[in-house]
Structure 1
């Protein structure tokens, strides 16, 4: 069973994502978004997608706030260099499955959290 986004996109299992696999994934996404199956994304379907995105953003904000509180180990309302260095906030956020390792997809997500910076 595919575990990462790359695995889900790489439908032929060759370790690469081809243009055809991207097109097929986009087609599958459109079908999921087109709730009434009319071949168009109408205002209601777009609004539903917006709500899902907003729900995920709110959940991510809650996770970030929770992580921030955890970093402030002495409870003074601020995070010192020592407290900051002791935690791996971005790693913890990116490690979606909690296995202590970053898959390729999780690493890409971490780069996204950093605004695409880094190597």
Structure 2
């Protein structure tokens, strides 16, 4: 088994849908709790997650199912399944990170969203996430700022 697959899926969970529950065919790969998510991201096992562990150069390719260099709500639905009660839809999640308002995510928009997520979670600003910081932000989606 490719050992980076669970890490990529965990990153997808963090960057696109931090609070999205695991289901469908990705149920075993997606982290359902903050602790599982943290452990999946902490690739060097040092008990903290830095920005390079939080991001993934392969993330965009994993989410871009049709390989057109754009991530759509349909592609997110195909990976994560239908919207759960009380959670934002895939289209809402796209809108949150969609800098140019075209209804799709580019690699740059996805990376920028990941950087914003990391900064939001890094409560003490030390450039690392510890488990407590991960738990404090787990399940809280980023709210888009007005354009």
Structure with more contact order per residue of length (Cα contacts < 8 Å, sep ≥ 6): 2
Q: Compare CA radii of gyration and give the structure with the larger one.
A: 1
Q: Report the TM-score, using the length of structure 1 for normalisation.
A: 0.37
> Which has more helix, going by share of residues?
1
Q: Report the TM-score, using the length of structure 2 for normalisation.
A: 0.32
